[in-house]
Amino acid sequence: MPKITPFLWFDTQAEEAAKFYVSVFKNSKIVETTYYGEGGSQPAGTVLTVEFELDGNRFLALNGGPHFQFSEAISFSVDCKSQDEVDNYWNKLTAGGGGPLKCGWLKDRFGVSWQVVPDMMPRLLQDPDRAKAGRAMKAMLKMKKIVIADLEAAVHG
């Protein structure tokens, strides 16, 4: 099976970002750091790439310069089993300059978009009772951080 690894382009913050993400998610680690050599686009000895794992998922971060920026067109989804997990990831990922968007989306301080959502969300939004599903959708659209109790209250009328 082919290996697919998300590749994140940073200006100069690849190592800082990787260390931050590893601190947010359990069972995570920096795997390898490579450095620019002579003749590269950055000074020799500065970080080129950082390979890291977030709860078993591989990522690669590159210090490629200011040519590209992150957008909401790509995001990482964090499925949470409880409100405590939602709150934990939301608070950690928005810390230090990140901020909320809406419907469970946020941007971290590096500009990377995340969706922090309860794992029961698809069940509520796909409820066979379309009125319940509609109420769940309407409630979600009013939220920034998802609040499970408010979603459940909306579903049950």
Q: pLDDT tens, 99-140?
A: 999 999 999 999 999 999 999 999 999 999 999 999 999 999
Q: From 68, 95, 110, give the residue that closes a domain.
A: 68
Both structure tokens of 77: 């989804």
Q: Residues 78-90: pLDDT tens digits?
A: 999 999 999 999 9
Closest to 138 measured CA to CA, from 117, 124, 128, 120: 124
Both structure tokens of 129: 């009772």
Q: Residues 1-45: pLDDT tens digits?
A: 678 999 999 999 999 999 999 999 999 999 999 999 998 888 999
CA dist list (Å): 65 to 9, 40, 71: 8, 12, 16
27 & 8 share domain? yes
Query: Could you tell me the CATH number of the domain that includes residue 129?
Result: 3.10.180.10
Question: Which residues, 6 or more positions from 117, have their beta carbon under 8 angstroms from its beta carbon?
Answer: 77, 78, 79, 80, 86, 104, 146
Q: From 38, 68, 98, give the residue that closes a domain.
A: 68
86 & 155 share domain? yes
Which residue in the block uniquely carries the two structure tokens 């959502």? 117
Question: Residue 1 has what pLDDT?
Answer: 66
Q: Which domain holds residue 52?
A: 1-68
DSSP string, 97-121: T-EE-STTEEE-TTS-EEEEEETTH
Question: Which residues, 6 or more positions from 88, have their beta carbon under 8 angstroms from its beta carbon?
Answer: none
User: What distance in Å separates the CA atoms of residue 1 and residue 98, rounded to the nearest whole number?
Assistant: 35
Query: Could you tell me the CATH number of the domain that includes residue 34?
Result: 3.30.720.100
88 & 157 share domain? yes
Count of Cβ atoms closer than 10 Å to residue 156 Cβ: 8
Task: Give the chain's domain count.
Answer: 2
Q: From 68, 85, 110, give the residue that closes a domain.
A: 68
24 & 42 share domain? yes
Percent of the chain surpassing pLDDT 70 = 99
Do 25 and 55 meet the contact criterion of CB atoms below 8 Å apart? yes
Question: Residue 3 has what pLDDT?
Answer: 87
User: What distance in Å separates the CA atoms of residue 112 and residue 26, rounded to the nearest whole number?
Assistant: 19
